């Protein structure tokens, strides 16, 4: 800490404001491990059950996840990695060169707040495991605010530990996350296998063929019966949700900061490890655990579901009790570790984002403040219970910036316009970026609010809206200001 050297290698190889040099680049295996670990997180245990509440059918969830995850991997491979490995800058510095310092501050604010909500949901997940040990009342599906003193104290305890570790011992957690990742992946798979056994026993099925397994999946696990008040998911919802669950990272370009270390552009395909371990196996396993709770409660028909919803007896998707039921103490440890190891880097990154806005404050103080804000969010279980909508909103929020980066890098030079215009013109804020970002978000949210398009689907047309807006506004701005800035061209133009 005291040895604040300017050598990036000595400061953890961050290379915040310079391209990553050859010697610091990493091989394919580093990215496989990183993606598999980062995407097998505590929130997967929340998202899987929410699919069941949304009434997905077996075919829709399996085919939808397969297709949606392919699209996500292709987004990393074709959008993020090619720019990351050509420019090799962090997203923040890249954006500063395009849009100016003040735009980055706004981006950091949006990103930091979103990270707080995400990390808050992870702490919520971990706290459900403590509920099993200490026996306090856990939140129900309809709870938005904290419902017991035990819950508040539990979230507070976990939040404080995670905050202090993020502020002091971040590198230890990073190492511990890598250590836990292989074990955690297998425990997640174990959740699925054990819940499959429950279904086999409860239905009397004999698993003597793939057909028998599929019939079990269709008739008992993912029955397609939706809980009233929850979003109703079709295959299209699953595809778009899986594709855009990490939209901020691929289409939104946050992972420029990660993939700038890749030796080759095709390393973007390593994201498949995260998608198919975390967002396929883990989501399916978690949803199977919860599906058995629903099956066990007799909630396999529309009528039973409506009656249970009216009576307020729909089971809550609480990862702690589910993991305890499946794998005992090992399962509970998995829930705590999965929440902890992924909440920590998220709080750390949120702290960095906020510190960029208030550089006069130390990173330690900002991280403590960020962690406390995150802990407050975690006390409200409504955030985690509405995870599907929140994840879609988070991706949408940062998506226009990704579209701007792609257009700025690939298309503007072909149109005779300048890339990295803020740097070229010495601007701290560029209107094309700011207007594109805000107007795109405004249009997307209006489509959700007034045109009845669900939030899961607006990001795709939103990307093209952002692209067209940015091109148009860049042409207007750059053509108008070019003569004023270039005296030679101005003279030619007036002669």
Partner 1 sequence: MIRLLKLISVLMLVLAALLPLLYLFDVLGEVTMKWWMLAVTLGWFAVTPCWMGREEAPVASEGGHD
> Which residues have CB under 8 Å from 265's CB, separation 6+?
77, 81, 82, 84, 85, 86
To partner 1, the closest distance from the beta carbon of 435 in angstroms equals 27
- List phi, psi (to 5°) of 227: -80, 130
Nearer to partner 1, 31 or 463 (CB): 31
Cβ closest to partner 1, residue 45 vs residue 433: 45
Q: Report the b/e string of 260-275 with b at 16+ CB within 10 A.
A: bbbeebebbbbbbbbb
Min. distance of Cβ 453 from partner 1 in angstroms?
23
Indicate the residue among 182 and 416 with the shorter CB distance to partner 1: 182
Give the C-alpha separation, 320 to 41, whole Å.
14
At its nearest, how many Å lie between partner 1 and the CB of residue 237? 17
CB of 407 to partner 1, least distance (A): 24
343 close to 123: Cβ distance less than 8 angstroms: yes
CB of 94 to partner 1, least distance (A): 14
When the beta carbons of 69 and 346 are compared against partner 1, the nearer one is: 346
Which residues have C-beta within 8 Å of that of residue 387, sequence separation ≥ 6? 43, 46, 47, 50, 121
Please report, to the nearest 10 degrees, the dihedral formed by the alpha carbons of residues 81, 86, 90, 94 taken in order. -110
Comparing CB distances to partner 1, the nearer of 328 and 442 is 328
Are 305 and 208 a contacting pair, CB within 8 Å?
A: no
User: Based on CB atoms, which residue is closest to partner 1, 272 or 391?
Assistant: 391
- Looking at the Cβ atoms of 370 and 419, the one nearer to partner 1 is 370
Burial class (CB in 10 A: 0-12, 13-18, 19+), 105: middle
Helices (H), 407-456: 421-425, 431-450
Q: Are 418 and 199 in contact (CB under 8 A)?
A: no
> What radius of gyration, in Å, describes the C-alpha atoms of the chain?
24
Q: Under the phi-then-psi rule, with left for phi > 0, alpha for psi from -120 to 50, and beta for the rest, what region is 15?
A: left
CB burial of residue 418 (10 Å; 0-12, 13-18, 19+): middle
In the DSSP assignment, the letter for residue 24 is: G
Q: Which is nearer to partner 1, 229 or 328 (CB)?
A: 328
Question: Closer CB to partner 1, residue 174 or residue 265?
Answer: 174
Picking from 274, 346, 334, the residue whose alpha carbon sits closest to that of residue 40 is 274
Q: Which is nearer to partner 1, 333 or 372 (CB)?
A: 333
- The footprint of partner 1 (CB under 8 A) covers 12-13, 26, 30-31, 33-34, 37-39, 41, 43-44, 115, 118, 170-171, 174-175, 177-180, 182-183, 186-187, 189-190, 193-194, 196-197, 200, 245-246, 249, 254-255, 257-258, 261, 274, 327-331, 333, 342, 344-346, 348-350, 391
406 phi/psi in degrees, rounded to 5: -65, -50
CB of 179 to partner 1, least distance (A): 6
Secondary structure letter of residue 251 according to DSSP: T
Torsions phi, psi of 421, nearest 5?
-65, -35
**Minimum Å distance from CB 253 to partner 1?**
13
Could you tell me which of 336, 340, 341, 309 has the C-alpha nearest to residue 323?
336
Quick one: DSSP state of residue 10? G
Q: What is the DSSP letter of 301?
A: S
What is the Cα–Cα distance from 13 to 8, expressed in whole angstroms?
Answer: 5
**CB 481 within 8 Å of CB 415:** no
Q: Minimal distance in Å, beta carbon 476 to partner 1?
A: 34
Smaller CB distance to partner 1: residue 335 or 469? 335
Q: Which residues pair with 262 in a beta bridge?
A: 26
Find the shortest distance in angstroms from Cβ 189 to partner 1: 7
> Dihedrals φ, ψ of 298, to 5°?
80, 20
74/431 with CB nearer partner 1: 74
């Amino acid at each position: 800490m005291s040895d604040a050297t300017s050598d990036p290698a000595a400061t953890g190889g961050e290379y915040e404001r310079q391209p990553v040099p050859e010697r610091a680049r990493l091989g394919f295996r580093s990215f496989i491990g990183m993606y598999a670990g980062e995407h097998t997180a505590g929130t997967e245990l929340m998202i899987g059950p929410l699919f069941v509440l949304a009434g997905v059918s077996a075919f829709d969830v399996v085919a939808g996840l397969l297709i949606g995850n392919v699209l996500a991997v292709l987004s990393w491979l074709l959008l993020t990695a090619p720019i990351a490995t050509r420019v090799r800058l962090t997203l923040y510095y890249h954006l500063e060169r395009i849009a100016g310092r003040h735009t980055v501050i706004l981006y950091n604010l949006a990103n930091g707040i979103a990270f707080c909500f995400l990390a808050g949901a992870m702490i919520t997940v971990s706290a459900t495991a403590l509920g099993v040990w200490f026996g306090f009342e856990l939140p129900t599906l309809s709870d938005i605010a904290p419902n017991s003193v035990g819950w508040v104290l539990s979230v507070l305890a976990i939040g404080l530990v995670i905050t202090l570790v993020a502020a002091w011992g971040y590198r230890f957690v990073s190492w511990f996350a890598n250590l836990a990742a292989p074990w955690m992946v297998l425990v997640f798979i174990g959740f699925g296998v054990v819940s499959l056994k429950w279904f086999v026993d409860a239905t009397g099925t004999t698993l003597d063929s793939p057909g028998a397994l599929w019939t079990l999946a269709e008739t008992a696990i993912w029955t397609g019966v939706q809980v009233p008040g929850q979003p109703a998911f079709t295959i299209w919802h699953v595809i778009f949700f899986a594709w855009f669950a990490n939209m901020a990272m691929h289409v939104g370009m946050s992972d420029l900061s990660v993939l700038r270390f890749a030796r080759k552009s095709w390393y973007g395909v390593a994201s498949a490890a995260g998608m198919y371990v975390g967002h396929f196996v883990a989501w399916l396993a978690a949803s199977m655990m919860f599906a058995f709770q629903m099956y066990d409660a007799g909630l396999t028909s529309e009528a039973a579901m409506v009656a249970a919803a009216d009576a307020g007896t729909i089971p809550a998707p609480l990862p702690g009790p589910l993991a305890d039921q499946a794998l005992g103490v090992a399962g509970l440890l998995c829930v705590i570790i999965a929440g902890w190891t992924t909440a920590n880097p998220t709080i750390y990154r949120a702290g960095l984002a906020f510190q960029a806005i208030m550089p006069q404050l130390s990173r330690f103080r900002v991280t403590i403040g960020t962690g406390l804000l995150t802990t407050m969010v975690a006390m409200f279980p409504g955030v985690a219970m509405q995870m599907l909508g929140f994840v879609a909103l988070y991706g949408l929020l940062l998506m226009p910036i990704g579209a701007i980066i792609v257009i700025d890098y690939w298309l503007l030079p072909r149109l005779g316009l300048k890339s990295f215009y803020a740097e070229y013109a010495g601007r701290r804020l560029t209107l094309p970026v700011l207007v594109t970002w805000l107007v795109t978000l405004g249009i997307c949210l209006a489509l959700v609010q007034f045109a009845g398009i669900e939030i899961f689907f607006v990001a795709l047309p939103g990307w093209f809206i952002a692209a067209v807006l940015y091109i148009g506004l860049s042409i207007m701005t750059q053509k108008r200001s070019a003569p004023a800035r270039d005296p030679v061209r101005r003279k030619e133009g007036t002669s």
